[in-house]
Chains A and B, each alone.
Chain A
Amino acid sequence: MTLAPERPTSLNSRLRVDSDAPRPQRPELKKSGRPNPASHLTPEQIEEIGRELDALRAEVMDSRGARDAAYIRKVITTQRYLEMGSRAALLFSGVKVRGIRPMWWIGTAGLSVAKILENMEIGHNVMHGQWDWMRDPKIHSTAWEWDNASPASQWKHAHNEIHHTFTNVLGRDNDLGYGILRVDEDQRWSLFYLFQPIWHVGNALIFEYSIAAYDLELGSYVAKKNRMSPEQKAEFKKNADEVLAKIKRQATKDYVVHPAMAAATFTGSGRHTLTANIVANLVRNLWTNTVIICGHFPPGIETFEKTSIEGETRGEWYLRQMLGSGNIAGSKAMHVMTGNLSHQIEHHLFPDMPSNRYAEIAPRIRDLMERYDLKYVTGSLPKQAASVYWKVVALSLPPKREGTTRRATVWKAARKALRGKGGGGRRY
């Protein structure tokens, strides 16, 4: 028997709201020269915020019960009936009535909604462990697989672990622009970003595949392939095979088997079922992308430097989640269709809290933030999405610097790239 050390040095500082060594006061300005939104808070106040949020979390988690269990089961049942109904309608999607194909429209709309529900309110949240407390082996983070190209295991690593721990930390959180977008002034400009409006729209359309590539860390593999150890390469190969197998199963279902079933009804529906599945996946991709970009990219949401999170306490982590996320205001139906990611701030504070509870704590989180003079970012979906699209266009250009023009900076980078000196590479 070996003896574990009394208090291992690896103990995560984020497990506690306080710390043994005093925490530093936040500086007035960030390194980039922009104002630090939390500089007015003392370490003691941040600790107090941590305690208040811990208490709120305990209050909600202790009150989970039959009402919540009934909620998620109802959503799952509704989603499955909707999907079955839509797929059944699509069996006759080729039938024309007075010039239109009613079953195509009904089936496509239903399937789009079913896929969105499955990905957002069900898949994303179940994989976060929000429903593990029910001890239902069918609705459990370790058992769930979702209707998306990225395998659950890889999604959970990239999203639950990396993104939720290092939210909006430049160079640590790859969700900040997914490595292809400059969505914050503090991200360094490069020529690659000049064309980012194109990347952005392309990314939105094939969002499920870009998520899969991103969870796989395909970009970093391509960049670092030559420096990787054989073990790292084997690991990548294993993950890549897993993704390809998942994509194959998904594509076979949507683009082969269901159209084939429809073709077997001899109503000329095979081709129309194929287009219906393509459209439903596109709609899902566009919708999920739109919701997700509103979570961290709209103006007023902060980013953080790597050095600012050293020795971070639980209170400081909470603070960063609040400042690094933004909400979407809207109807109850909108909240469900976003998987309650419209309550992004609440979700980032308590990622394992059942999603149906976010709406109920939202006013209290807002009150807390206002009491501490912190900005609670929120707005309607069109407003928030438009602000991100505008940002993507605006930040495609380099920042204004004294003594030179933006045009000159772009030309300089372009000439460098043409001479093969890497000016076109992406970097923060």
Chain B
Amino acid sequence: MTATLPRQATDRHTARPSARAAALPGLPGLPGLSGLLGGARKVAQALATPLVPADYLDLIDPMRAGADLRGRIVDVTPETADSATLTIKPGRGWRGHTPGQYIRIGVDIDGVRHWRAYSLTHRAGTPDGHLTITPKAIPDGVVSNHLVRRTTPGTMVMLDQATGDFTLPRELPRKALFLTAGSGITPVMGMLRNHLDELPDVVQIHCAPTESDVMFREELRSYAAASRLTLHENLDDVAGVLDLASLDALVPDWRERETWVCGPTGLLDAAEAHWAAAGVSDLLHVERFRPSVVEPGEGGTVTFERASVTVDADGSTPILDAGESAGVLMPSGCRMGICFGCVVTMREGAVRDLRTGDITATDENSGDVRIQTCINAAAGPCHLDL
């Protein structure tokens, strides 16, 4: 087995009460109150050690302000045959978002926590404060299939605050073009639902294999019917994959439009080239969503980042041995996989368990993973935090 852990490793057990109290912002004019709060915090820490007060408070109210951000799924509504909108009630620590941004969601599947990023699609500022994401199930996608097909209301998930710069500028463009394919519509839907009324001139081009694959189809068409935007649906099975050369006919003034593109890598690459060729790259915003997965191989270069050492390790040498023979100071223990004394953080890479052949690899969303170096060999280039 390989020890793995996402980047959000908590520091709760090592947090010292004094450090917490010192971090408390001083309240000018009310030194007594700030001292009192700091004191109460210290007492709470002393009561809870070796845990922290949050460990107990989380039992009672996991959604409270100050807790690690969580959410409860309150509704799951199918959009198409392979996508669904999940409505999530976020914890009170939720700081809101700018339409177009995404969140990372941590969901336990078969007992294992997986993190993935999804664009926020809801209209902000509604009284219930709920947010929505609309995942599309991709073939063999563990998380997307779970979210779309097997998630039930009531499920608790872990959340991160919204992030991403695929958003509208403060000063809204007079003319906008949204070019999307498949689930690439989701961040744009977030923008349309929140800002369509403020955008005077919007063209939306959306590509999907068939009509029934078009996410938010009714809503998009109703916007078009109300003349709030111009909609071009490109159904690949009927019209073929969209050729950007046809833009001149579809949207003659596309060179003047501030443009947002989101979809498969092929579309993004083509758009970047097309806009560059027209000399209007500065009008183009691109959102890339494909996780970069490390393809496992046999052996590879192992980089010990802090030691600035890189070694070539074959597929049968434990990373521990490879590191030690290159002079890296490696934490170690039993050297047979039972004591977990050699666990280190792998920033990026893939490793193979020498006992079982199991592969552990990083991807963009999982972030770092922790591995036992004594029973894992390189299965591709690896970067270790050592």
Contact = CB atoms under 8 A, between A and B. Distances in A.
A24 interface: no
A84 B48 CA distance: 10
Interface residues of B, number: 60
A161 B341 contact: yes
5 contacts: A4-B314, A7-B316, A77-B59, A146-B50, A161-B334
A5 B323 CA distance: 11
Interface string A47-58: 000000010001
A257 B46 contact: yes
Contact of A2 (B49, B309, B321): B309
A161 B341 CA distance: 7
A64 B10 contact: no
B335 interface: yes
Contacts of A68: 111
Contact of B335 (A12, A69, A140): A12
B343 to A, nearest CB: 6
A5 to B, nearest CB: 6
Interface in A136-155: 136-138, 140-147, 152
B22 interface: no
Interface stretch (B1-9, B75-83, B251-259, B272-280): B1-9
A226 B80 CA distance: 76
Contacts of A253: 46-49
A134 interface: yes
Contact of B311 (A1, A58, A81): A1
A9 to B, nearest CB: 9
B47 A258 contact: yes
Contact of B3 (A6, A141, A160, A258): A141
Interface string B330-349: 00011111111101000000
A318 to B, nearest CB: 11
A363 interface: no
A4 B322 contact: yes
A136 B343 contact: no
A80 interface: yes
Interface stretch (A31-39, A125-133, A204-212, A396-404): A125-133
Interface residues of A, number: 64
Given A64-B111, A137-B9, A164-B339, A1 B301 contact: yes
A29 interface: no
A140 to B, nearest CB: 6
A250 B324 CA distance: 38
B355 A135 contact: no
Contacts of B55: 80, 138
Contacts of A257: 43, 46-47
Nearest to B13: A145
A160 to B, nearest CB: 4
B340 A129 contact: yes
B333 A160 contact: yes
A2 B10 contact: no
